[in-house]
C-alpha cells in the first residue's frame, strides 16, 4: 500500500519542487502496514497467514513442558525490525502462535538488499574511528537489520561496544558508513542507574555463615555450564583454598555472593518453569576502579558495580538485585520483550515478580539500597488505569497485581499467571495485550471458588 504512496509522493515532489517537501514527509505513513495473526487451534501452522521468509531464532527456550521460539521475518536473511513469529510447542505439537509481519510487497526487494549487504565491507574503516573517539571497544560482530525510518525501510548494521565504565552502547551505520544511531543498550536494574562464607539471604536478613556450594574444579571456579562469574577489576580466585578463605572484607566476596544468588535463581527457574538459561555471565566490580551503581542485564551478561556507598552499597550482596537481573535473561528468552517503553515495564514487572516469588518478599533492593528501606515494593494498590508511562512506575502495576494474587489467593495462582504471561507475551506486547491474556487465563480457570477470588482481585485492580 505505501509503495504506491511513495510513487505519488515522488511525483508530487518532482512536479512542485521543494514546496512539496513537507507534503512528502507527511504523506508517508508513520508505520508500515503490520499484519498481526494469532493461530487458531486445530489448524496446521502452515495455514496460519505468516511471513514466508524467517530469520534465525532471536530468542528460544523451554518453559515447563513447552518450547518457545521467537523468529523475525527476514529479507535476504536480514531480520526485519518489529516483526516476529512466536510459537509455543508441546511435544513438537503447536499449541499457540502469533505473528506480526509485513506482506512481501511492503518490503524491499531482496536482490537490492543483497547488493547493499555486499557493499557493507566499507564499514570496517569506520569502526576504528568510533572506538577511538568514544573510547568504546567493539564487542560484537556486525548485525544487519532492516528498520523503518521516516517512511522507508533502511538497512543498518549494528554493533555493540563497551566503555571502560562497563556501559554498553549500540552503534549503527548505514551501508555507506554514515552513523545512524548511538545509544545505550540493555536493561538497568533501576533507579538511575567448596565451603565458603556468605550471607544466604543478604547482609540485612541473615548472618554470615559457612556454606557448602558447588563450584568448578578448574580455574575460574565460580562457574557452571550455564554461568560464569568474573570481576572487572581482574580479581581471580587462585584455588579452592583461596575460595574458602574469602570474607566480606575481601574484594572477591562480591563474586562469591553473586555466584551463590545466581545459581539459586537458575535452580528455581529450572524447578518451577523447567526452563534452563545457559551461557550467562556475571561481571562484578563493573566500572572499576570507580565504585559504580551499575546494575543491569544486557546480551547474556549481568553487570554489577560495587555500589558508591551513598545510594547503593554492596550491590552484589543483595539477592533481589542479582536475581532480578538474572530473571531478565529468562524473560528475554521467552518473550523477546524490549527494555524500554511499555514492553520494558512488562519486562521489569515480570523480573520483579519472579524475584519476589523466589524470595517470598515483595521488597526490591532491600539490602543494598541506602536511601530507604527498599528501592521499590510490589506491595501496592496500583490499578490498571494508573499508568503514566514511567518504566518502573508502570511495572509495579503488573507486579503489584501478581503479588496480590499471591498474598490474597495463592502463590500457585500468581506463579501460574506469571508463567502464562511468559508464554504469551511477544516483542510488541503492551498493557492492553497483557490484559487480554490475563482475561483469557481467568476464563480457563477451573478451580471453582479460587477462580472467584482471583476474579475479585483482578476486578478491584481494573484488569477485567
Ligand atoms: Zn530490570
Kindly report the three-state secondary structure assignment for every residue of 91-156: CCEEEEEEEEECCHHHCCCHHHHHHHHHHHHHHHHHHHHHHHHHCEEECCCCEEEEEEECCEEEEE
Do the beta carbons of residue 120 and residue 175 sit within 8 Å? yes
Please give the backbone phi and psi of residue 192, each rounded to the nearest 5 degrees, phi first: -135, -90
C-alpha cell at 436: 487480554
Quote the ligand 1 centre to 392 CA distance (angstroms).
9
Quote the ligand 1 centre to 247 CA distance (angstroms).
28
Quote the ligand 1 centre to 339 CA distance (angstroms).
8
Element holding 292 (H helix, E strand): none
Quote the ligand 1 centre to 11 CA distance (angstroms).
48
Quote the ligand 1 centre to 174 CA distance (angstroms).
31
Quote the ligand 1 centre to 191 CA distance (angstroms).
10
Q: What does the pLDDT look like over 394-440, one tens digit per residue?
A: 999 999 999 999 999 999 999 999 999 999 999 999 999 999 999 99
- C-beta pairs of 378-381 under 8 Å, 24+ apart in sequence: 378/352, 378/353, 378/402, 378/403, 379/403, 379/407, 381/461
Q: How far apart are CA 124 and CA 114, in angstroms?
A: 18
Residue 366 has pLDDT above 80, yes or no: yes
Quote the ligand 1 centre to 403 CA distance (angstroms).
17
C-alpha cell at 267: 535452580
pLDDT in the model for residue 240 = 84
Residue 30 has pLDDT above 70, yes or no: no
pLDDT in the model for residue 29 = 53
Quote the ligand 1 centre to 395 CA distance (angstroms).
10
Quote the ligand 1 centre to 344 CA distance (angstroms).
9
Quote the ligand 1 centre to 285 CA distance (angstroms).
18
Q: How far apart are CA 422 and CA 420, in angstroms?
A: 5
Residue 138 has pLDDT above 90, yes or no: no
Q: How far apart are CA 278 and CA 300, in angstroms?
A: 9
**In 285-346, beta strands by DSSP E:** 295-298, 301-304
Q: How far apart are CA 36 and CA 174, in angstroms?
A: 28
Quote the ligand 1 centre to 251 CA distance (angstroms).
25
Q: What does the pLDDT look like over 90-119, one tens digit per residue?
A: 888 888 899 999 888 888 899 999 888 887
Quote the ligand 1 centre to 38 CA distance (angstroms).
29
pLDDT in the model for residue 277 = 77
Quote the ligand 1 centre to 374 CA distance (angstroms).
15
Quote the ligand 1 centre to 201 CA distance (angstroms).
20
pLDDT in the model for residue 405 = 98
Amino acid at each position: 500500500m505505501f509503495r504506491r504512496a511513495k510513487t505519488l509522493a515522488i511525483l508530487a515532489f518532482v512536479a512542485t519542487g521543494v514546496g512539496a517537501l513537507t507534503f512528502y514527509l507527511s504523506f508517508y505513513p508513520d508505520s508500515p502496514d503490520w499484519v498481526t495473526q494469532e493461530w487458531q487451534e486445530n489448524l496446521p501452522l502452515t495455514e496460519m497467514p505468516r511471513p514466508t521468509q524467517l530469520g534465525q531464532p532471536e530468542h528460544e527456550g523451554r518453559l515447563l513442558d513447552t518450547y518457545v521460539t521467537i523468529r523475525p521475518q527476514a529479507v535476504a536473511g536480514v531480520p526485519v525490525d518489529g516483526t516476529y513469529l512466536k510459537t509455543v510447542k508441546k511435544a513438537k505439537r503447536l499449541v499457540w502462535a502469533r505473528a506480526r509481519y509485513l506482506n512481501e510487497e511492503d518490503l524491499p526487494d531482496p536482490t537490492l538488499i543483497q547488493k547493499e549487504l555486499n557493499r557493507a565491507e566499507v564499514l570496517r574503516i569506520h569502526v576504528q574511528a568510533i572506538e577511538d573517539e568514544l573510547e568504546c571497544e567493539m564487542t560484537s560482530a556486525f548485525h544487519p537489520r532492516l528498520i523503518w525510518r521516516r517512511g522507508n525501510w533502511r538497512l543498518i548494521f549494528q554493533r555493540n561496544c563497551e566503555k571502560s565504565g562497563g556501559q554498553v552502547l549500540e552503534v549503527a551505520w548505514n551501508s555507506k558508513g554514515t552513523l545512524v544511531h548511538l545509544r545505550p543498550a540493555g536493561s538497568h536494574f533501576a533507579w538511575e542507574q567448596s565451603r565458603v562464607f556468605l550471607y544466604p539471604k543478604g547482609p540485612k536478613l541473615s548472618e554470615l555463615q559457612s556454606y557448602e556450594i558447588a563450584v568448578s574444579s578448574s580455574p575460574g571456579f565460580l562457574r557452571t555450564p550455564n554461568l560464569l562469574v568474573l570481576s572487572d577489576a581482574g580479581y581471580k580466585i587462585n584455588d579452592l583454598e583461596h575460595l574458602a578463605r574469602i570474607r566480606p572484607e575481601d574484594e572477591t566476596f562480591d563474586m562469591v555472593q553473586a555466584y551463590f544468588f545466581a545459581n539459586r535463581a537458575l535452580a528455581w527457574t529450572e524447578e518451577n518453569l523447567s526452563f534452563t538459561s545457559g551461557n550467562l555471565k556475571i561481571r562484578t566490580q563493573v566500572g572499576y576502579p570507580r565504585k559504580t551503581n551499575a546494575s543491569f542485564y544486557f546480551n547474556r551478561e549481568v553487570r554489577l558495580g560495587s555500589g558508591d556507598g551513598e545510594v547503593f552499597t554492596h550491590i552484589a550482596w543483595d539477592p533481589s538485585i542479582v536475581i532480578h537481573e538474572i530473571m531478565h535473561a529468562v524473560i528475554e528468552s521467552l518473550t523477546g520483550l524490549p527494555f524500554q517503553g511499555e514492553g520494558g515495564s512488562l519486562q521489569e514487572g515480570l523480573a520483579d515478580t519472579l524475584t519476589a516469588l523466589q524470595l517470598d518478599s515483595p521488597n526490591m533492593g532491600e539490602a543494598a539500597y541506602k536511601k530507604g528501606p527498599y528501592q521499590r515494593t510490589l506491595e501496592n494498590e496500583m490499578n490498571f488505569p494508573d499508568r503514566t508511562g514511567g518504566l518502573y512506575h508502570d511495572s509495579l502495576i503488573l507486579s503489584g497485581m501478581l503479588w496480590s494474587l499471591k498474598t490474597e489467593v495463592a502463590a500457585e495462582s500468581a506463579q501460574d499467571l506469571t508463567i502464562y504471561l511468559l508464554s504469551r507475551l511477544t516483542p510488541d506486547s503492551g498493557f492492553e495485550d497483557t490484559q487480554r491474556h490475563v482475561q483469557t487465563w481467568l476464563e480457563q480457570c477451573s478451580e471453582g471458588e479460587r477462580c472467584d477470588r482471583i476474579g475479585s482481585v483482578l476486578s478491584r485492580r481494573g484488569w477485567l
